[in-house]
Amino acid sequence: MSDQEIVVEKNNNSAWHLPAIVVLGLLALGGLGWAWSNSARVDATKAAVSEQLKTVQQSVQSDMTTLKERIAQDEKTNADLQGDLKVVTDKLKITQGQLKKARQEASELNTAATETKEKLTALDTSVHTELATKASTEEVKTVDTRVTQVDSNLNKTISDLNMAKSELGTLIARNHDEIDLLRRKGERDYLEFTIAGKNQPQKVGNVTIELKGTNDKKNRANLVVTVEDKRYEDKNRMTNQPLIFYTTDSHTPEEVVINRIAKNQISGYVSVPKSGAAPVTAASSKSGQ
C-alpha cells in the first residue's frame, strides 16, 4: 500500500467521527435535560406529598384532640350521672322507709278507729238497753236532760279547743263570729275596731291605737298603742297575735288583737277584763311580743 492510500483512509475515518461525537453530545444533553425535568417533577411530587401528609397529620391531631375532649366530657357526664343515681337511690330508700312507716301508722290508726267504733257501738247498745229497761218516764227524761247537758258541754269544749289561746291562757278570736262567742261567755268585754289610714289615732275603750304602716303581702302591721300616757310601739305585728299590756293597779291583762290586715287598714278588737274578774296568772308582765 502506498503513502497516498494511507492518507486517504485517515481522512475518511476523521469524517465520520465528528458527527458521531456531535450526536452523542446531543443525546447526552437531552438525557441531562430529561433527568433534570424528572428530578424537578420528583421534588414537586415530594413537596406535594409532604404537604398532604402534614395536612393529614394536622387533621388527625385535631380529630384526636376532639376525641379526647369528648371522652373527657363523657367521663364527666358519666360521673355526674352516677352521682345523681346514688342521690336518687338514697332518697328512694328514705322515701320507701317513710312510706312503710306511714302505712304502719295508718294501719295502727285504722285498728284504733275500728276498736273505738266497736266500743261506741257497744256503748250505744248498752245505753239503749238500759233505757229500754227503765220503767219510769221521769227517769228517761232525766237521762235525756243529762245527755243534752253533756252534748252542750262537749260543743263548748270543742269550740274552746278550736280557738287559739294567748300565752296567758285567754282565748283569741279570729273573726267576728268568734268574738260574739267570747262575748257570750261573759268573762271579758270585746271592743271591735277598724282603722283606715296611717297616722290617725283612734280611741278604743281606754286604749288609743295609731296605724303606722302595713305589709299586706306578709300580713304584718306597724302600730302604736297608748295606754295611760304610756306609749307602746309595735312593729311587724301579725294577725291573731295579741299585744298584751297591764293598766295601773290591775293584775289582769288587756289585749289588742288584729284579725285582718289590708293596705293601710287593719281590723280587730280590744279585750278588757270585766270589773271584778279574777286575775290571770302569768310568768310575764307587760309585753309587746
What average pLDDT does the segment 258-275 reach?
Answer: 90
Whole-model pTM over 0.75: no
* Cα–Cα distance list, 123 to 134, 136, 138, 242 (Å): 17, 21, 22, 43
Is the pLDDT score of 6 beyond 60? Answer: no
pLDDT digits (tens, 9 = 90+) for 113-159: 677 777 778 777 776 676 666 645 555 556 556 656 655 554 554 44
Percentage with pLDDT > 70 across the chain:
70
**Distance (Å, rounded) from C-alpha 171 to C-alpha 182?**
8
**Residues 107 and 175 reside in one and the same domain:** no
Is the pLDDT score of 285 beyond 50? Answer: no
Higher pLDDT residue, 185 or 37? 185
Residue 138: its pLDDT value, please?
57
In a domain, 89, yes or no: yes
Q: Among residues 215, 210, 218, which one has the least CA distance to residue 234?
A: 210
* Residues of the domain holding 86: 53-133
pLDDT digits (tens, 9 = 90+) for 208-255: 999 999 998 888 999 999 998 888 898 889 998 898 888 887 788 889
Question: What's the mean per-residue pLDDT of the chain?
Answer: 75
**Residues 267 and 183 reside in one and the same domain:** yes
In a domain, 229, yes or no: yes
Residue 9: its pLDDT value, please?
52
**Residues 126 and 176 reside in one and the same domain:** no
Residue 137: its pLDDT value, please?
58
**Distance (Å, rounded) from C-alpha 165 to C-alpha 51?**
92
**Residues 254 and 206 reside in one and the same domain:** yes
In a domain, 127, yes or no: yes
**Residues 178 and 249 reside in one and the same domain:** yes
Burial class (CB in 10 A: 0-12, 13-18, 19+), 66: exposed
**Distance (Å, rounded) from C-alpha 139 to C-alpha 68?**
97
Is the pLDDT score of 164 beyond 70? Answer: no
In a domain, 231, yes or no: yes
In a domain, 254, yes or no: yes
In a domain, 157, yes or no: no
In a domain, 27, yes or no: no
In a domain, 176, yes or no: yes
Residue 287: its pLDDT value, please?
38
| Residue 165, CA atoms < 13 Å, CB-side half-sphere | 8
**Residues 175 and 129 reside in one and the same domain:** no
SS3 state of residue 136: coil
Overall domain count for the chain: 2
